[in-house]
Amino acid sequence: MKNVEVTPGMFSSAETKPSLKTPITLVVAAFVVLVFFGFLGKAGDISFVWSDKREAIQLPPFVVNSMLFCTFVGAVLLLIGLLSIALSLRGRRTPVWLIAIYSLGAMMALLGWLATEATQGVQMIFILGNTLVLAIPLIFGGMAGIMSERVGVVNIAIEGQLLTGAFVSAVLGTMTGNLYIGMIAAMIASGLLSMVLASLAIKYLVEQIIIGVLLNVLVIGVTNFLYSAWVDDDSINRNFPGTFEKLPIPLLSEIPVLGQVLFNNRITVYLMFILVPLLWYVLFRTKLGLRARAVGEHPLAADTVGINVGRTRFWWVTIGGMVAGLGGASLTLGNVGSFGREMSAGLGFIALAVVILGRWQPIYVTLGALLFGFTIILKVWANQVSPGIPVDFITMVPYLVTLVAVAGFAGRVKPPAASGQPYVKG
């Protein structure tokens, strides 16, 4: 067979120039670190403290001059940025691990710049541990987003599902006295909420964004009402679940730094450790996942090979909702210990941004969520160690990062092709 073939819409990739948005963003941010944190930075010493006092193996703190440290890190970031530009010019993408290293470096520089006046130094275990705990609801929310968008349903209602999960887990956990029942009830409640979204979107073809927004508003209204009309009257018996016990994993939790951060946690964290790789495996290594992705990319094609598009979408969205419910439970039972009005506070929407940032890939989405977890804890911590910094500025950081990240990645990421499109037969 001859190989002279015409290719509609397909031209050699050499003729396409990859976007320089990401590399340029990286270089600009590196300059900011180098100049403002480095050259114009603070003169004092900073001390990175790696060990908790209670730990058996004590690591010595790492003490260094702030300006020197930030200059060094800034230079490294700049190198990564330049490497990224070079890759782009050769038509290659910046690998995700490089961006991950970059983010890590930028975080360290930010800590090193902020903490010159901190008397106890930079408590790395506190910061990393809280980053993880605070990222959990976001990660579950992100997984819920992946699960519904991968099958072609846009789930704006993650915010409402997190809130539902938070409310139900707190109230039922308190009333039954068993937090596990609270957690399972949260998953069921959010799953039911997802079924509403799924059936309206799939069966009745209602505009998905609108259902999502309505569900969010509905959940805020209902939880606020129940909270002030009923829960708040007797919080001790209705909204005082406390949190799950910490379950240190034998041996693993003894590892310096990482042990405390990763393996001395509540069940919600461990569930995340299981869920993320599991979702990755199911999506990319099983026929269930292949079919789900097919439905999200080209539902008609999936239908013509005998896959039930409606049913596939329904169950993925519903199970996604249950995962978001788990996220809600991890907000109350895994961290705060009680329910507060509108306590999801936009996490569901950030989860959607993280899904885009993480390119609909469970592992990348988790990394993105961790970045946000870090900015949340930074807000709390920076205020303590460096009172001079305007809180509003630090509060802005997570959203700024979202904006830059989403804008930087926009255009080069490709969502599932049929995301948001209802499928009508015939």
Binding site residues, other proteins, CB under 8 A: 1-11, 15-17, 281, 285-287, 289-291, 293-294, 297-298, 300-308, 414, 417, 425-426
Closest CB 404 distance from other proteins, rounded Å: 21
Token pair for residue 193?
A: 């909420």
Closest CB 284 distance from other proteins, rounded Å: 9
Between strands 122-123 and 45-49, the pairing is parallel
In the bound state with other proteins, the residue whose beta carbon lies nearer, of 15 and 245, is 15
The DSSP code sequence of 15-76 is: GSPPP-HHHHHHHHHHHHIIIIIIITS--SEEEEE---TT-SSPPPPEEEEHHHHHHHHHHH
> Per this entry, what is the length of the chain?
426
Closest CB 419 distance from other proteins, rounded Å: 13
In the bound state with other proteins, the residue whose beta carbon lies nearer, of 80 and 292, is 292
In the bound state with other proteins, the residue whose beta carbon lies nearer, of 298 and 341, is 298
Closest CB 151 distance from other proteins, rounded Å: 13
Q: Residue 118 in 3-state DSSP?
A: coil
In the bound state with other proteins, the residue whose beta carbon lies nearer, of 152 and 321, is 152
Closest CB 89 distance from other proteins, rounded Å: 15
In the bound state with other proteins, the residue whose beta carbon lies nearer, of 53 and 287, is 287
Long-range CB contacts (within 8 A, 24+) of 283-288: 283/146, 283/150, 283/362
Give the helix/strand (H/E) hosting 331: helix 309-331
- Within its chain, how far is the Cα of 264 from the centroid? 21
Closest CB 363 distance from other proteins, rounded Å: 18
In the bound state with other proteins, the residue whose beta carbon lies nearer, of 4 and 229, is 4
Q: Which amino acid is at 322?
A: M
Q: Residue 247 in 3-state DSSP?
A: strand
